[in-house]
Structure 1
Amino acid sequence: MNVYDHYGVEKQDVGDVVRLLGEMLKVCFLPHESGFLGEYYLAMGEGGASYRLIRNFSDNEWQEEDFKECVWLLEANEVVEPDVLMVLLSGLEEIKFLYRSEVEEGSWMRRYVFVDGKLEMIREVVV
């Protein structure tokens, strides 16, 4: 099963965001370019974890329209201890946990939000 956590970052300046997240996650974000995502930042972490930082609004399109207050989106993939990361990042005023996706390839995908101190499943899709 693969776990993907999504966070919103309300800070505007990408330099500040990259520095803050790099220090907290103990990783180095490097700039990348994509025809689909535009400019984004990627970092590799412990145990095969990866972190991708993308603009929420790019090329006149929202990545996460329900979270327009978030300038940047952080995708944390395959983190060794995702719940520990969620507590760490959610402790910051400018970062908020958006949702978690769990994927069992060829079987199902589940989406969770954090409600009343626990993860609550809001959707399950069988594939």
Structure 2
Amino acid sequence: AMESVRAGECPDLSDREKHKRICYIVPKKEADLSFIENKIKNMPNYFSDYDTTVNFINEEDFKANHKGMPHGGFVIRTGVTGESTKHRVEFNLKLDSNPEFTANVLLAYSRAVYRLAKEGQTGARTVLD
């Protein structure tokens, strides 16, 4: 899908074709792995509409390789202006810690809102403002 969009095509993609999810699970020794995988893959409004891979790992692997809660992906937007002038904007995100990044973004927004309020400004703003 990404190669198609990058090549200038505008395919009609399903949610499943646009997004993949990968889960790492440290199960209890007696856990029913098939049950867990099925529950995750069929979770409505989060996993069920996407290709989801469930990986069962041990505690040592989790501590060594998965504690950072990384997150990443690409957002690609294409369009046409005039009769046939094509454009593409691509955003790439690679985070070592999704929770840490999200918390810092929210703090930055909060500080900005506070400063705007001190100046007496009101109204809606975008991230770029």
Q: Same fold (TM over 0.5)?
A: no
In our comparison, the structure showing a higher alpha carbon Rg is 2
TM-score normalised per structure 2:
0.32
TM-score of the two chains, using structure 1 as the length reference: 0.33
Structure number with the higher strand fraction is 1
